[in-house]
A and B are shown apart, each in its own frame.
Chain A
Amino acid sequence: MSDFILCQWSAWAPGFSARDDRLMELGNSVVPECVPKMLRRRLTPLARAVFNVADQCINGEKTFPVVFSSAHGEICKSLTMLQTIQAGHELSPTAFSLSVHNAIAGLFSIAYRNTQEITVIAPGQEGIAPAFIEALGMLHEGADEVLIILYDEPIADFYPISPFNLNSPNPCVLALRIALVGDGLPLQFDRCTQSREDGEHPVQLQLFLKFLLAKERSLSLGNQEHSWIWHKK
């Protein structure tokens, strides 16, 4: 059992109809002002959304340890590169450097001059829980606050979706600033042995955002092995 405070959150979730100040409406080209001009050209629309949503939770100059979590990152870039190889063309070094799972985290650390601990998780069937476990670990090791950034975009039709439950029709980015003490929404986070089938990260991310916007007090998310419960105290 672990308790924490959700100090602040923000999200970008096209397809969500709820009206809430924390749900951002973003144009494709908007980038936070602090991002150097020469870095902007390397940001995809998803990266720009991640930057904007995170920026809402950062409030100025302060830098935090960050946990990024995404099922596939920007796997469409890898697919495009494979198709380039198949066509017999040479790969773009820039495209290659930005195709890795931690590419957005790397750009983020440069743009925000953030030299704190930054972790990027590809959680597979474990969904969004590992990001919380990692962030809570950082808090218990002494960090005052940790930023969790969960993001996914729909994967290309090229990839098989069944028998998995891992695709969401819309992209989604959610940033959460959490701490062990202070003002905000107190949450309790527990593991239990109950077997569930709530899908993988992209699906769970949308369910968690719905939970934040709803009146329900608790949310369970899990797979056939175990599940995790978030409870608003």
Chain B
Amino acid sequence: MENELKQLIIDALDLEDISVADIDSHAPLFNEGLGLDSIDALELGLAIRKKYNVKIEAEKEDVVKIFSSVSTLADYIKSVQG
């Protein structure tokens, strides 16, 4: 699922010149690391909801932890899907 998520990130966020191999599963997605910003967080949340039918609620969940890397994001989606 991690590679699938990486491709989703590249497609949903129009990351020019970045391939799945360039994204480290354990590196931070935001600020340092991949360098995404707050608009990307919203866009990614929407893309995940569309693809996996998993809604990440900003008020209820620990979004900072969930969105911290591809690895944590994949773990969360798997845990919700059961």
Contacts and interface: CB of A to CB of B under 8 A. Distances in A.
Interface of A: 37-38, 40-42, 90, 92-94, 97
A90 B35 contact: no
B43 A41 contact: no
A90 B13 contact: no
Contacts of A38: 35-37
A93 B42 contact: yes
Interface string B1-23: 00000000000011111000000
A97 B39 contact: yes
Contact of A40 (B16, B35, B37, B42): B16
Contacts of A92: 43, 46
Interface of B: 13-17, 35-37, 39-40, 42-43, 46, 49-50
Contacts of A37: 16-17
B16 A90 contact: no
Contact of A93 (B15, B35, B36, B43): B43
B48 to A, nearest CB: 12
A41 B16 contact: yes
Contacts of B40: 94
B36 to A, nearest CB: 8
Contacts of B13: 41, 94
12 contacts: A37-B17, A38-B35, A38-B36, A41-B14, A41-B15, A41-B16, A42-B14, A92-B43, A92-B46, A93-B42, A94-B39, A97-B39
